């Protein structure tokens, strides 16, 4: 049973979150004023110092509070392509090196969930975790038949912390919305409110893992560790142990003879298959959840291992069709078709037309062209887009963003960050296009099969025989 937070604890968390992010927001505004009005020569150094201090204050708050705040900071730390380098460097340590819970807490949780002693369930169980993150920590163990496994154990108080943090974020984002009228973060909080209860249920995570694992039964270069259902409950998940190299450790990959380009190509292909072919995808591809296993022999392709399926999403058929239309328009370079696809997906502007969406689509298209031979958005492209898009949105704000786009955007952002870290250069068009075409053809066949056969036309009356 999760421990309930006292009123004093809830107030402290709300104050800690509000003060931390409030100071950073005011600092950003102050630095923007100085840069705009005074333009000092050392402005770049001032920004670097401010970003370092801000990142450390966020890091300290995340370590102290854990919960949803820690998970959000992990996401920020993975965006090496967009956030200032100070944030990426400081917050990257939150991916899998969060201070662990004492072993006695882990033992108590596992034994309560499995209704057996640790020794009855496992031949061996390492006390020190191999990873500790926002919601749980993972220990290496061995079943009695000798199978090496990874045991994911949920923090006992995490459900209560997540509920409290969601409430605090709603209040914080509403306040931001009042200050920045054209900056609506509420769709993100709404999506978190839907997803987090699912992510805290490890049975749901295990089902997600098996579903996505079946997608790659035909491939040797992508896999998902097998779940051991007899040892899996709502708060404990046991799966095969998957040794390997963290995907963002470029030095270790190269030392093992693995080319980052090959890894990035496999990753993009894997996501194309999930999103375009199956409409169900792993929505949390941060570096701690992706492992690379070098080939057993020289020249053999490496294997990409997906872990941690708490956050996964199924796309409705209509939404998948809209995404295919958007991808097709993007690949063809048609801003007009992109605008129509955005409208059909559920994007709405204040004026209600597609013209503003077309302007936004043109900026996205220009950025995509720069992605042609790289898998991340470079800082120049990001800066240009960040200057033009807010202006367009202020002139005709987007008042509705479909919830599915929030998670898809998060995936694209994380993949872009990984592409920057890996310095992977692949031909995005050639990699993505076959999946778009194949999925479009499959949807056309499904539509034709579901449609009734046409009757005789006015000039083709049936022969009465």
pLDDT at 372: 56
The answer to which of 135-144, 328-337, 411-420 has the lowest mean pLDDT is: 411-420
Summarize pLDDT for 50-106 with one digit per residue, the tens: 999 999 999 999 888 888 888 778 767 765 555 688 888 888 777 666 788 999 999
Catalytic-role residue among 81, 284, 308, 359: 284
* Rounded alpha-carbon distances, angstroms, from residue 91 to 44, 53, 78: 21, 12, 8
Average pLDDT, stretch 211-220?
A: 95
Give the relative orientation of helices 67-77 and 158-179 as an angle to the nearest 10 degrees. Answer: 60
Here the contacts of 432-437 (C-beta below 8 Å, separation 24 or greater) are 432/268, 432/272, 432/327, 432/331, 433/331, 435/269, 435/272, 435/273, 435/276, 435/277, 436/272, 436/276, 436/324, 436/327, 436/328, 436/331
Give the residue extent of every domain in the chain: 7-94+159-194, 243-449
Summarize pLDDT for 148-187 with one digit per residue, the tens: 999 999 999 888 888 888 888 788 777 766 766 655 556 6
Asked whether residue 424 carries a pLDDT value surpassing 90, the answer given is no
* Rounded alpha-carbon distances, angstroms, from residue 160 to 156, 164, 236: 9, 6, 17
The answer to which of 99-113, 215-229, 297-311 has the lowest mean pLDDT is: 297-311
Summarize pLDDT for 271-298 with one digit per residue, the tens: 999 988 899 999 888 888 999 999 887 7
Is this structure's pTM higher than 0.75? no
Residues 319 and 309: their CA atoms lie apart, in Å, by 22
More confident residue, 12 or 324: 12
The answer to which of 80-94, 412-426, 437-451 has the lowest mean pLDDT is: 437-451
Q: Is 52 helix (H, G, I), strand (E, B) or coil?
A: helix
Identify the burial level of 255 via C-beta atoms within 10 angstroms of its C-beta, where 0-12 means exposed, 13-18 middle and 19 or more buried.
exposed
Asked whether residue 347 carries a pLDDT value surpassing 90, the answer given is no
Q: Using the 8-state DSSP alphabet, how is residue 371 labeled?
A: T
Asked if 284 is an active-site residue, the reply is yes
pLDDT at 127: 97
Q: What percentage of the chain exceeds 70 in pLDDT?
A: 78
């Amino acid at each position: 049973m999760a421990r309930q937070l006292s009123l004093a604890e809830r107030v402290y968390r709300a104050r800690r979150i509000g003060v931390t992010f409030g100071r950073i927001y005011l600092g950003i505004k102050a630095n923007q004023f100085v840069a705009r009005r005074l333009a000092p020569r050392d402005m770049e150094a001032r920004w670097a110092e401010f970003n370092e201090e801000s990142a450390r204050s966020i890091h300290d708050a995340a370590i102290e509070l854990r919960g949803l705040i820690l998970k959000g900071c992990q996401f920020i730390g993975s965006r090496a392509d967009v956030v200032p380098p100070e944030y990426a460097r400081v917050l990257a340590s939150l991916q899998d090196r969060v201070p662990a819970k004492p072993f006695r807490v882990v033992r108590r949780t596992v034994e309560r969930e499995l209704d057996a002693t640790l020794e009855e369930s496992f031949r061996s169980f390492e006390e020190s975790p191999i990873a500790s993150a926002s919601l749980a920590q993972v220990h290496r163990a061995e079943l009695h038949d000798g199978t090496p496994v990874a045991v994911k154990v949920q923090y006992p108080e995490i459900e209560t912390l997540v509920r409290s943090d969601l409430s605090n974020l709603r209040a914080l984002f509403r306040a931001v919305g009042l200050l920045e009228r054209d900056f609506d973060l509420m769709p993100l909080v709404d999506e978190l409110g839907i997803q987090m209860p699912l992510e805290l249920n490890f049975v749901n995570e295990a089902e997600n893992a098996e579903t996505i694992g079946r997608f790659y039964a035909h491939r040797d270069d992508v896999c998902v560790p097998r779940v051991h259902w007899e040892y899996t409950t709502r708060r404990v998940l046991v799966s095969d142990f998957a040794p390997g190299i963290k995907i963002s450790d470029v030095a270790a990959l190269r030392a093992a003879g693995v080319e980052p380009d090959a890894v990035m190509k496999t990753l993009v292909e894997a996501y194309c298959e999930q999103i375009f072919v199956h409409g169900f995808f792993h929505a949390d591809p941060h570096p701690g959840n992706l492992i690379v296993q070098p080939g057993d022999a020289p020249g053999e392709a490496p294997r990409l291992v997906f872990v941690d399926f708490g956050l996964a999403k199924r796309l409705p058929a209509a939404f998948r069709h809209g995404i295919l239309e958007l991808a097709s328009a993007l690949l063809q370079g048609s801003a007009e078709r992109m605008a129509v696809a955005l409208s059909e997906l559920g994007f709405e502007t204040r004026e209600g037309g597609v013209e503003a969406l077309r302007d936004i689509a043109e900026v996205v298209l220009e950025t995509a062209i720069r992605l042609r031979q790289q898998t991340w958005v470079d800082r120049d492209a990001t800066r240009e887009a960040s200057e033009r898009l807010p202006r367009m949105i202020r002139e005709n704000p987007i008042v509705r963003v479909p919830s599915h786009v929030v998670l898809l955007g998060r995936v694209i952002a994380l993949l872009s960050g990984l592409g920057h870290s890996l310095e992977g250069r692949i031909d995005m068009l050639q990699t993505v296009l076959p999946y778009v075409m194949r999925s479009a053809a499959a949807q056309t066949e499904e539509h034709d099969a579901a449609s009734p056969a046409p009757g005789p036309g006015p000039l083709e009356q049936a022969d009465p025989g």
